[in-house]
Structure 1
């Protein structure tokens, strides 16, 4: 078995790369590519249009269809304004816990997967094992969307994918989608003493948020009777309302950042159609009665499909066997899993650490969870060996 100490050293190296989504991940991807190449993997790196971000795709074993993908995202959320007790980009081991930004979300799994590469390379693999490490999962799964398009264009056809997001090593076979938007309001600035002479973008943004709250309540009544999610209905969250410059200035611009997590496609269609009608027939006529150039524009940050539970799921059954689990579960948070499922793969989510630690100060993954993950991955190598 790959030693835990080797894996924690890889994790230490990965945490040291400050791969916040706003910044480049190229150094981290280069490090992973080097380790996988030295293990004998065939490595491909796909840069995005900016040249500052990249996805990694690597393969061990035969050049054939039907392989297994081990997938993780290299980016992490920011640490600004968080109260850490240690440097977030220097791994700190205390009382059996490994602290650092990305420790559980999700560099712990990436470290475990990469540490297994030499072991896999030494086996006579009957099926390929692929490594997929992406950029910008935290900002709309942009890297994952680009990667699955690349795989489709190149004709790669893996059969299964294991997404190593933190689940406390529980097997997750379904989750909601994650649709993120920024709605921009452009009004007309003016002096606060003459409110009828301007178009107050913040006030119209507030009315938009009020509509989101109404839709939030309506979605509860659209809940599918057989929904297994918690909560079982589609949710909406308003993440930010930004606008205004001073007490006595009519704000000409405002922005609402919001998301929904649909349990069914019809809910997403319902919300988008309602908001389009509300803006077209209510908000915009009132805004343009004062200033014909006033506008509302919704920017799609990301529309990432959910992971649909399937009756037949080979990777679920395999990992149940490997781990001895006697149950599977669903979660409300989103991952890249649905993207791989759209390519025709059987997919689950299973990885070390808890989502309760993700995105928080003093993020950590436990050594016990890492041991469980390594054990699963080693047994996976046994299963796919000839």
Structure 2
């Protein structure tokens, strides 16, 4: 492939990121100097967020197609099943995030040349490389739990002359010897912010991370300001995203039959007038789903495909064996079954009603406060009016 062809696609992507506002002007030089392609393996899978389909691209057999995907604003899967899988069919466990997501999160981080940054989730190493180019050599320490992924990132960063410390360890530990850091950024999705991270960030420093609940797989970027000597960190969410989860915090679910071994018999039955769209949302990033997760803790939602005009949606309590099933029917009343000590459907319906009463707030009105005793409290507009999550 000719060099002008190699750079043309990247230039188009760079202009698109700049014109859309995803990439702030101060990151343009790093984008130009640190090519995404230099941090990717020969085989990647372009991931369609809407359909879940993954398209393989192999640089060795079709370099043109490989480069075309690299220069698009799409996530690229680089590992399946923690390295045990060879392609789609399993679980995607490492990737190169969408460039627009990368640069929006870097803008949220608000790091300046000379600032020290702790990154959780090295992945390909591109994010660490971008930060190092702008902030300076030896300013970035990156933690990666997967030894093979970490080794590959070290090699790619070294080949680009970027001096980054890459540590192989569980990201929940952070990096105590290197603390305090001015900034901490996580490139893996969280369900709890480890309290040691608060200790490892300087007073008034920032933690930027994708955070969500076990209700669904979606996350939202939270921007936490550390205060009180690391005793507290609090801030607003900025936008919805979806990241692969920190391995130590992946959802633990015992399976449907552990909850419903004998079918729907014996459960309490009722009906509801809550619309299917309210429960499922208009798209994968619908704030209604996020808000429901904040208001209905320790609950996992599973959406079945519609079939013959019927669609069941299941809710499972993660702290007990409570469950609920809502069966939407085309053209007739929606049926509800509930069982266990929690009335999970009642909780979900109440959460949706609360969201409407509050004026249907978007992501940016919600916030999170984390304390050094492990407490997590969500809030809407006012941190002083928070509830546990």
TM-score (norm 2): 0.27
The structure whose residues are more often strand, as a share, is 2
TM-score (norm 1): 0.28
